[in-house]
Structure 1
Amino acid sequence: MSMRTGSEPGTARSPLRMRLALALFGLTWATFGVIAFALTGRPGWTAACGVLMVLTLADAAIIVRHIRQGPHYQPGRDIPPYEPDHGGRGRFSR
């Protein structure tokens, strides 16, 4: 759990659509690499591009999942920031 300081922007959002575009760009080039290296008989490079293709596909799937989850609860402007710990004793310490 991260501490809310009150100085973060109230409308901050993760650039998920940009990340998805970059993942799809990488997926396109990895697929092109698999096809090109397979046709030229380079099995090592074909395998490397295949691994990269699987990783970018998994990344794109995770990003799509995050986009579909929608915005998560964030405290509004009417919620004051949490009081930071000033080095005092913990709640359960003796």
Structure 2
Amino acid sequence: MRTGSEPRTARSALRVRFWLSVWGLVWAIFGTVAFALAGRPGWAIACGVLWLVVTVDMMMILRHIRQGPHYQPGRDIPPYRPPENPPP
């Protein structure tokens, strides 16, 4: 049932986003080291910049997770406000 307030009450999959950023961080570190050892400084710099972006994103994700139910509601908080007048 849709109530029209979904954009305000949408839930974010922060834990999934965190683990995807961990995966990206591992690959960015690997790419930076591998390209640096292979003598490709341009690609190493690109992977290093990606490493920085992923690290900042991970810090923001962890901050939102730690802020609690306001940003990451638990299972006991409904995803939307029930309608005031249910259909007969």
Q: Partner residue of 1:67?
A: 65
TM-score (norm 1): 0.66
- Distance in structure 2 (CA, Å) of the matches to 1:77 and 1:57: 35
Deviation beyond 2 Å, 4+ runs, structure 1: 73-80
Of the three residues 33, 42, 45, the one matched with 1:44 is 42
Q: Partner residue of 2:29?
A: 31
Judging by fraction of residues, say which structure has more helix: 2
- Number of matched pairs: 74
- Distance in structure 1 (CA, Å) of the matches to 2:39 and 2:64: 38
- Give me the identity figure in percent: 57
- Distance in structure 2 (CA, Å) of the matches to 1:72 and 1:39: 45
Q: Partner residue of 2:56?
A: 58
- Distance in structure 1 (CA, Å) of the matches to 2:27 and 2:82: 47
Q: For each residue in 1:9-40, what CA deviation from the matched residue of structure 2 results, as whole angstroms up to 9, or x when unmatched?
A: xx853100000000110010000000000111
Could you say what the CA RMSD is over the residues aligned between the two structures, in angstroms? 2.7
Can you give the 5+ residue segments of structure 2 that lack an aligned partner in the other structure?
72-76
Say whether 1:5 aligns with 2:14.
no
Q: For each residue in 1:39-78, what CA deviation from the matched residue of structure 2 results, as whole angstroms up to 9, or x when unmatched?
A: 1110000000000000000000000000000111889847
What SS is found at the alignment partner of 1:46?
helix
- Distance in structure 1 (CA, Å) of the matches to 2:83 and 2:59: 34
- Distance in structure 2 (CA, Å) of the matches to 1:63 and 1:29: 18
Larger Rg: 1
